[in-house]
């Protein structure tokens, strides 16, 4: 290889590095799970790592959230790979498993390819939460030390498994190991979910653990068979058209010509309000408005597609009234246990809040809260009454 060949190879390598630096990079909030070391709580508080949503609170409400390590509990003492803490996910022999999810900084786009990496390990010691390690001997303690795999999903809402993006090999290593993944998004995806699962095929469910730390940003790459991604350049300007000089006309004529080519846009016909006619009127602080035509899948916070028109109306209302700040409140009927009602109502209110924030409303203008079954508006003794109680409302906090 001569000098000029080596120079050109190096030049194009550097050009590729520069170009890739201009490409889309999707960032995660708190990718190293920094937070307060804590064993999974028994309430609906979720995990103590900011930015992450506990999916088990929706799918397995009787189980506790994931744990943030190291905290000298469950006998997990491994040092973090990055930062001060990391997350521990488990799968159990009762056919339940843990997963966490979050909203991406930018959506993954349909038919685009991406890559990311993270660090994973397994702990030789992971004591089942239901046992008191101070009371039982080591032979009596039930361990959750078997190896698991990681599954990564993309979705339109938290914890949704719309597309399986990646699946790891069995994570049996007890020291931190870097795992790399690449995939192609089949559709636009707004959320990512990390799930600990049994080795497949699953013959019998078992107790295992998976430790995760230091997830990289998600970087766009060229799909197989495509040319390497380079920075986009603006299209060339259209060719200049020679303008012939016309004799100077009467000053009135240009105004007339301008009026002839100017089109007056027609105002679109206003649709009937889906949320409530109250949004047509003047709103005041303290006012509470029910969101009609808002439907969730049974016992989850997943919003049905039929609800998007109502949510779009709420978004439009907030865009047209930039001085309005709201609280989104979730409510359930009075049948389930209080903890379950609190958890589900909070998850549903949060899902609505994140939808309109993702559309472009500033987070400072939106609060959310789950009221569970504390504020019924009808009897829980009838089906219709329970239907009315299970609702999502917006409360006007202030109007500037």
Contact 155, 162 (CB under 8 A): yes
Domain positions in the chain are: 23-221, 277-399
Beta strands in 249-353 (DSSP E): 288-290, 324-331
Supply the DSSP symbol for 336: S
Contact 229, 220 (CB under 8 A): yes
Contact 178, 117 (CB under 8 A): yes
Instruction: Judge if the upstream peptide bond of residue 70 is cis by omega within 30 degrees of 0.
Output: yes
Number of Cβ within 10 Å of residue 198's Cβ equals 21
CATH class of segment(s) 23-221: mainly beta
Return the structure tokens found at 224.
Answer: 């197989």
* Grouped pLDDT means (10 residues each) for the chain, 400 residues: 52 45 79 87 66 86 87 81 93 91 93 96 74 43 80 94 94 95 95 93 86 96 68 44 46 40 42 57 83 81 83 90 93 88 91 91 93 92 89 91
Return the structure tokens found at 338.
Answer: 């209080």
pLDDT digits (tens, 9 = 90+) for 257-304: 343 433 434 434 445 555 655 665 677 888 998 888 888 877 778 888
CATH superfamily of 277-399: OmpA-like domain (3.30.1330.60)
Sign of torsion, CA 245 251 256 259?
positive
Place of tokens 């809040």: 353
pLDDT digits (tens, 9 = 90+) for 227-259: 554 433 344 444 544 444 455 444 444 443 343
pTM listed for this prediction: 0.53
Phi-psi sector, 41: left (phi>0), alpha (psi -120 to 50), beta: beta
């Amino acid at each position: 290889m001569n000098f000029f060949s080596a120079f050109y190879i190096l030049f194009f390598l550097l050009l590729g590095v520069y170009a890739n630096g201009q490409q889309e990079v999707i960032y995660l909030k708190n990718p190293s799970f920094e937070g307060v070391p804590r064993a999974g709580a028994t309430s609906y508080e979720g995990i103590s790592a900011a930015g992450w949503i506990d999916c088990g609170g929706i799918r397995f409400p009787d189980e506790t959230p994931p744990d943030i390590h190291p905290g000298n509990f469950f006998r997990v003492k491994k040092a973090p790979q990055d930062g001060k803490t990391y997350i521990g996910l488990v799968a159990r022999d009762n056919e339940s498993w843990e997963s966490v999810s979050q909203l991406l900084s930018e959506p993954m786009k349909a038919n685009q390819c991406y890559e990311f990496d993270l660090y994973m390990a397994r702990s030789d010691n992971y004591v089942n939460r239901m046992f008191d390690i101070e009371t039982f001997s080591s032979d009596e303690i039930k361990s959750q030390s078997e190896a698991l795999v990681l599954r990564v999903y993309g979705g339109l809402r938290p914890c949704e498994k719309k597309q399986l993006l990646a699946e790891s090999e069995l994570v049996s290593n007890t020291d931190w190991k870097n795992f790399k993944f690449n995939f192609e998004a089949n559709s636009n995806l707004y959320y990512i979910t990390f799930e600990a699962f049994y080795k497949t095929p699953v013959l019998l469910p078992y107790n295992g653990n998976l430790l995760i730390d230091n997830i990289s940003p998600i970087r766009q790459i060229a799909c197989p068979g495509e040319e390497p991604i380079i920075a986009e350049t603006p299209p060339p300007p259209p060719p200049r058209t020679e303008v012939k000089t016309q004799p100077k006309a009467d000053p009135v004529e240009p105004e007339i010509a301008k009026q002839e080519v100017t089109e007056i846009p027609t105002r679109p016909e206003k649709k009937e309000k889906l949320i409530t006619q109250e949004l047509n009127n003047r709103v005041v602080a303290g006012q509470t408005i029910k969101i009609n035509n808002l439907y969730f899948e049974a016992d989850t916070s997943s919003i049905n597609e039929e609800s998007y028109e109502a949510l779009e109306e709420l978004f439009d209302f907030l865009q047209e009234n930039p001085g309005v700040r709201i609280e989104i409140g979730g409510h359930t009927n009075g049948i389930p246990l209080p903890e379950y009602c609190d958890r589900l109502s909070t998850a549903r209110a949060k899902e609505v809040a994140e939808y309109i924030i993702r559309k472009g409303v500033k987070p400072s203008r939106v609060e959310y809260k789950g009221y569970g079954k504390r504020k019924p508006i009808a009897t829980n003794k009838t089906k219709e009454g329970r239907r009315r109680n299970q609702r999502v409302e917006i409360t006007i906090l202030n109007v500037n």
